Every structure is written in C-alpha cells, then in structure tokens.
Chains A and B, each alone.
Chain A
Amino acid sequence: MSMKLLKVDQLAIHLIQRSTRSNPAQPTLSEALTELTDQNRGFLQDRLRETLKKARPIIDDSDTSSPVPKLIRGLLEDGDDLLTVSRRLAEELQSKQAGISPSGLLLVAEVTLGSDSGVVLAKWEHERGARTEQVTNTDGKLVYDMQFLEDLFMTEASRVYKVALFLRSEVTTDHVEGRVIDPQSSGMSVAHYFRVNFLGCDYKVRPELQTEQFHGGARDFIGSLLSPEKRARYQVALMSEMLSNKDDLSVTGFSREHLDADDRDAFNRFMASRSVPLRSTIPKDLTLVRTQLKRMQVDFEHGTILLTPPDEMGPNGHVEFAEDNGVAYVTITDKVASVSGRGSIKLDDDGQADQT
C-alpha cells in the first residue's frame, strides 16, 4: 500500500515508563493533544511515510483479550475522542510491556491517507546523543561545548520503534485489519508483546505461503532470463538465500544483494505481479519449499541434466558456470565416485528433457 499521501491531523503523546515485576509503573499521560506546528507535522509525516512502507498486514485475533481492536474501532467508526482513547491505549501498552522493555513515547495520531482516514499507534524509544555549541570559555577562548542528551527520539537513523496503522476502510463488521512494522526485530517472533499482547493482532498472511510465493516467483524470474550464466548465478543465490540463517526474506533486499543493477527493477516488478510484497519482509518458513531446496537442477538444451547440492555451485563448490555468447561452460572439478545407467532420457517436442 502506498503511503505517500499520508497526512497527520491530530496527535497525542504519552510516556510509557520502564517498570519491573516487583515495581510496576504507570504511564505519564498527557492532558491535552500535542500542538502540531507545520514543522513538526512535516517531520512526523516524513518519518511515518518512510517507516510504514515496510509494514506488514495484520488482522485482529478473534480470541484476543486485548481491548485495542475495540478501541481502534471506536476511534475510526464511532468518532471517539482521540485524547481519551490514546490515554487508554497508553495504559494498555504499559501493562503489556515486559519489565525489561525500555521506556518510550506512545504516539497516537489521527491520519488521512488520500480519501481514507486512520489511526497510527507508534512506540518510539528514547535515544541518546550529544550536541555541541561554540562558546567562549573562562579564559576568553572559543571552544566547542558538548552537551549529552538522553531524551531524543525519532532520529533519522533510529530503529527503536514500532509503528502500526489502521485504516477506516479496513475495519469491517468482523475484523480490524492494519499493518505493523518493527525494524529492530526480525523474523516471526518480533515484538510479540506489541503485536499480539498489545494490538491483539497477528500477521494476516501465513509465512509458509508467502515463502513459497517468494521462492516460486524468484525461480520463475530467473528461469525467464536469457543468459545461462546469469540463470545459474542467480539460482545459486536464491538457494543460498532460502537456506541461509536469515529469519526474513525481502524482495528488494534479495535483488540488491544478488542481482545485477540492471535486473533489479525488472525482478521487483515481476515479484509484484506475483503479489509478493516488495517492501515488507517475509518471515521465512520453509515448510512448503523444503523438498525443492535439496537439489538444484540445471537442464541443458540438448537433454543433459545436472543435479547438484546448492552449496556445490559457484566458486566455493566443485561446479562452476561461465558464459560466452550465450553458451554455457560448466566445469566440474571432482573425482568420479560411480557411473550408473538411468534409462533413456525422454525429450519433449522442444527438445527439452522431460522431467515428469
């Protein structure tokens, strides 16, 4: 979903305290909405638009005990008072936050996205930094004075935040849907307390299905390329990405890391056409693709089939690919362990090896 038309109308900010089990804290609540100057509004919109691009769809869990979906429905459907609801949300977040979670600010903003209206819930943690100022010291000399600051937030490089957006058009009779982003965490277990305990939501699309979509889309794109060298190189990269220890898959991340610059936009467009999310990460779940990742198969035009474990491909393995004028050269540097007959290879009408 495009965020470029997101505008902030009203804002409430509350302080969520750090607390421990033995000493539970209460949030410090605002008594009025925060005044938004053009400068603050512009900066906030900038940060939210950038952040929410990568947000992932969520949907309320019908069994949740969290009151948040109901509070959101009240704000968006019934026009409940923003300040009142935001105070209630702050109390809820404070109660659901684990003792080890740092303090931070809860921002609750009424927003519009084109003709739609919505609400943003964001927890932004405090950050530390310093500022300097040139002053004259007691000896009358110019020096830079340094001041340590502990109450910064929303800095441009910050990753310590969680942001959720709920739109009026996505609130139905049965469900409250939205999207959430937490760049500090990764994988399936991200900010469980924020997404599940506080928001009362879970991811809308099952990770194993999205993983299969990603793998299938990338494999088909690679298969459509003309250069055999590129096909081999990208296929190895795809296998490596799928089998790596990373918790997430990302279309733009994969294209930037593994594809040549002039293939990236085409890859992204292809994946978008297959409904694979471009900007949000996909929690990797190999349940549905595991069998496809055990062996990598390369089919040649004249019927030769090469089957190899993925980690054998490339400069670190024993099978290397090179290309010259559209002709592939495969070099296998290894000892022959055995040779056996496997029957005749059937060719289809196009001369391709029949894989059935």
Chain B
Amino acid sequence: MNVDEALARYVSERHHFRDAANAIKEQLELVAGDIGITVVVHAREKDPASYRAKVADRGYSDAWAEMTDKAGARVIVSGPSEVDSFVSAVQKSERLRVVGQPEDKRDVINPESLSYSGVHLQVIAPAVAESQEPIECEVQVRTAAQDAWSVVSHKLLYKPVLELPKEDQHAVYRLVALMELFDQEVERVSAKLPTLPGYEFRHVLQAAESEFLALAHAQSYRSLSVEVLGALGEAVPRDVNYPTQLRSWVTANRGLLSDAIQTYGPHSDLQSSYRYTLFSQAELLIILERLTACPEAFTSAWQEAGLPIDWLRAVATYSDADVS
C-alpha cells in the first residue's frame, strides 16, 4: 500500500487507533497496579502528519503494514529496575498480548557513544469489536530521567528549526551521562528503602494518610504511625490489595469516620486528651477497619504489642468490637 492509500485509510480509521491507545493505557495502569508500582502512562494515536513524515523518512515499501506504531503508549517509571519489572509483568500478564521480543535500547552497542535508552514492546490492543482487525501498538517503557532526555533531545536534535552546531549537539548527548547518573542514584536510594522502618506497610500507610487527610484536613504524625503499625506486625495486612480494601471500607463508612474525627480528632476540643490520641492519626482508619474485619485477632495483637489499651478502647467505641 502506498503512502497516500495508507494515509487515507488511516484517517478514516483513526478513531479505532485512538480507542486502542486508550484501552492500552488502561491495561498498562492495571499491570502496574498488579505489581504495586506507580507509573505515568501517556497514550495516543499517531498524528497524520507524523505518519507521512515517518513513511518518507524510513522509506517503507508497504506504508500500512510496516507502520507498527499507529497507536502507542509511553510508560514512565521511577528507576531502571522498575523498567525491567514492568516489562516482565507485561509479558507475564494476561491483560495484554505481546508480539515478539522487547527491543532493549539500553544495550551498549558502541561504548564510545551515548544515546537514547529505554525498552520498547509491541502489544495487541484489546479488541473493541469482534470484526475489528487486531491493532498493534508500540509501548515505550522508560525511567523519568530517560524520558526527560528523550523529550528534550527530540526537540533539539531531531526536530530543530535550525541544525545545532556540532559542539551543541555534543552537549545534548553529554546529558545522557547525567541521565545515567540520575538513574543510578535513584536505584541506590531505592535499594535502601526496604531497610527503613515502616517499609513493609508503606502502601497501607500511604493509603491511610491520603484518606485521613481528606477526612480530617490535617496531617498525622508519621513517626507515631510507623511505631504503632510496626508494633502490630502481621495484624496489619501488607499485601498489595489491602490499600484498595481499606479505601473501599473508608468510602462505605465515611459518615461514621467523619463523626469520629470531628468529635475527637485534630480540630476537636478533645484532641489533646491522651485517650483520643489515635483520632488524630491516619492509622485510625486501619485500626477501625481491622476491628471490624477480625476484632478478636486484632485485639489480641494489640495487647501482645503492648500498645496503650485505652487508645484501642476509645477507637473501638466506633465499632462493635469488644476490646475490654
């Protein structure tokens, strides 16, 4: 198919590629959720002008079949190891079908040059209608630093109004070194996180803090939260699904929680009372949810942890649990 035919077909079917890009974005975000990492996903269908330019640039003999990135997505993760874990998760997941092998642009081909890195995958978008031809999309997985360099270099090196002098082109490529150092530092610091107190329940605490902030309009003391949750050990679930469960429970009990925080929380007349300490803390939500889900096991864990029983008794008045 020549470029004019391909472009005409693309323009008439462009909305299918837009839908495919959106569907891919949704599935990629779900894959990230499955492995408990936070990603930013941008997805879109190809601009017709870019389509024509790319055919001309690459000299495709079949301008329809060889254009494999009519729809595409870019997934931005925090550090280099998350690139690998995300790509691996996409390959293993049943959410998307991967075509071929990933193209790893991080491989050092020429040790004397610096260039773009990232991992590219080809996936098939979930079918919107049975009759529709499968739509293949390109997924680029990058770190935040790789993405920053890629965006800037694209503007300066590949799409300049004027061609940069050689020393300035060199300066842009030199930024790749900074990008690699940036990623190395992110990886080094990230590797320390698992050794810090509270790491094992960070997702849970993060969910509780954001929900608490919305209810109380006040921050709680994280160091106290870490102390309380750390003491409770396995009585606080640490699996990746628990934050979702906690958020659902908070949504279902918002009225009750608002009353508790309004009466005893950070802006109440009782906020300085020792007995009501937990009403100014994000872990209040976790404790009440646990007192509802498994009151005896949680009360037993609380007592074994040696935490103040008065704190639990005060919170338990907003549950049916008997903690006496």
- Tally of A interface residues using CB under 8 Å: 27
Binds A, one of B55-63, B120-128, B293-301: B293-301
Within A262-286, the residues touching B (CB, 8 Å) are 262, 264-265, 268, 278-279
CB distance from B298 to the nearest CB of A (A): 9
A43 CA / B313 CA spacing, docked (Å): 13
- Name the A residues within 8 Å of B316 (CB-CB): 50
Contact yes or no, B295 A53, CB < 8 A: no
B78 within 8 A of A: no
Binds B, one of A34-42, A57-65, A66-74, A164-172: A34-42
Contact of B322 among A4, A261, A279 (CB under 8 A): A279
User: Which residue of chain A is the closest to B323 with respect to CB atoms?
Assistant: A50
Contact yes or no, B264 A53, CB < 8 A: no
- Name the B residues within 8 Å of A299 (CB-CB): none
Contact yes or no, B268 A4, CB < 8 A: no
A256 CA / B320 CA spacing, docked (Å): 16
Given contacts A4-B320, A38-B268, contact A45 B300 (CB under 8 A): no
Given contacts A54-B322, A156-B310, contact A265 B295 (CB under 8 A): yes
- Name the A residues within 8 Å of B322 (CB-CB): 53-54, 252, 278-279
Given contacts A38-B263, A39-B269, contact A4 B295 (CB under 8 A): no
B314 within 8 A of A: yes
CB distance from A342 to the nearest CB of B (A): 42
- Name the B residues within 8 Å of A338 (CB-CB): none
Contact yes or no, B275 A156, CB < 8 A: yes
Contact yes or no, A255 B263, CB < 8 A: no
Given contacts A38-B263, A279-B322, contact A264 B297 (CB under 8 A): yes
A46 within 8 A of B: yes
Given contacts A38-B268, A39-B269, contact A50 B313 (CB under 8 A): yes
Per-residue interface assignment for chain A, residues 1 to 32, with 1 indicating a CB less than 8 Å from any chain B CB and 0 otherwise: 01111000000000000000000000000000
A16 CA / B320 CA spacing, docked (Å): 32
B256 within 8 A of A: yes
A261 CA / B304 CA spacing, docked (Å): 11
Contact of B317 among A41, A49, A262, A279 (CB under 8 A): A49
- Name the B residues within 8 Å of A54 (CB-CB): 322, 324
User: Which residue of chain B is the closest to A156 with respect to CB atoms?
Assistant: B310
Contact of A4 among B276, B296, B318 (CB under 8 A): B318
Can you list 22 A-B pairs with a CB-CB distance of less than 8 A? A2-B320, A4-B256, A4-B317, A37-B269, A42-B263, A42-B264, A42-B276, A43-B270, A45-B263, A45-B317, A46-B275, A50-B324, A54-B322, A156-B275, A252-B296, A261-B296, A261-B297, A261-B300, A264-B300, A265-B297, A279-B320, A279-B322
Residues of A within 8 A of B (CB): 2-5, 37-39, 41-43, 45-46, 49-50, 53-54, 156, 252, 255-256, 261-262, 264-265, 268, 278-279
Instruction: Please name 12 further chain A to chain B contacts, defined as beta carbons within 8 Å, in addition to the given A4-B317, A268-B296, sorted by A numbering.
Output: A2-B320, A3-B317, A37-B269, A38-B268, A39-B269, A50-B316, A50-B317, A261-B297, A262-B297, A265-B294, A265-B295, A278-B322
Residues of B within 8 A of A (CB): 256, 259, 263-264, 268-270, 275-276, 294-297, 300, 310, 313-314, 316-320, 322, 324
